[in-house]
Amino acid sequence: MGLIEKRLIKEAKEAWLPGEQQEMESIAGTPIAVDVQWSSFETDEAALKNLQHCGVRKLVNALRVICRDDLGKEAVRDSIKRIVVINQQAGGEATVGLEGGTITLACTFNKGPDGCLTDLQIARVLERAL
């Protein structure tokens, strides 16, 4: 891991990730842990630069779609406790799933939007799983 990647990870952990997590919890009305698998990002500057807007922000927007009414909020409160975000290597298919109270979002973040799911794709998969 180089200096640039270290700085981007530090910025994420200290500057924007806590706010994104707080927004998710506010939308859902329940605590949600957000775990980024930093080891999958530590040698990928481009992926780190896309993580917030192509990953975490899309999860926030997907939760906003799901929690638009009391039924959605209740389903999220009952079913989602944790979110895991993973950076895939080139060639991997972007996926999202919900199992055992954990949402797992795996994308090829260094490709930007081309390697990631849209907010509505994420919301639709999660709505079917709730």
pLDDT in tens, 76-119: 999 999 999 999 988 789 999 999 999 999 999 999 999 999 99
**pLDDT number for residue 90:** 80
The CB-based long-range contact list for 102-111 (8 Å cut-off, 24+ gap) reads: 103/59, 105/55, 105/59, 107/54, 107/55, 108/47, 109/41, 109/44, 109/46, 109/47, 109/48, 109/50, 109/51, 109/54, 109/55, 110/44, 110/46, 110/47, 110/50
Tell me the pLDDT tens digit for each residue of 3-55: 999 999 999 999 999 999 999 999 999 999 999 999 999 999 999 999 999 99
Instruction: Quickly state the pLDDT bin for 128 (edges 50, 70, 90).
Output: very high
**pLDDT number for residue 91:** 78
List the alpha helices (DSSP H) in the chain. Answer: 3-11, 17-28, 45-51, 57-66, 70-79, 119-129
Q: Which residues pair with 87 in a beta bridge?
A: 107
**pLDDT number for residue 117:** 98
Domain definitions of the chain by residue range: 3-129
pTM for this entry: 0.95
**pLDDT number for residue 27:** 97
Q: Are strands 102-107 and 95-99 parallel, antiparallel or unpaired?
A: antiparallel
**pLDDT number for residue 19:** 97
Q: Could you give the angle at the alpha carbon of 111 between the alpha carbons of 59 and 58, nearest 5°? A: 10
**pLDDT number for residue 103:** 98
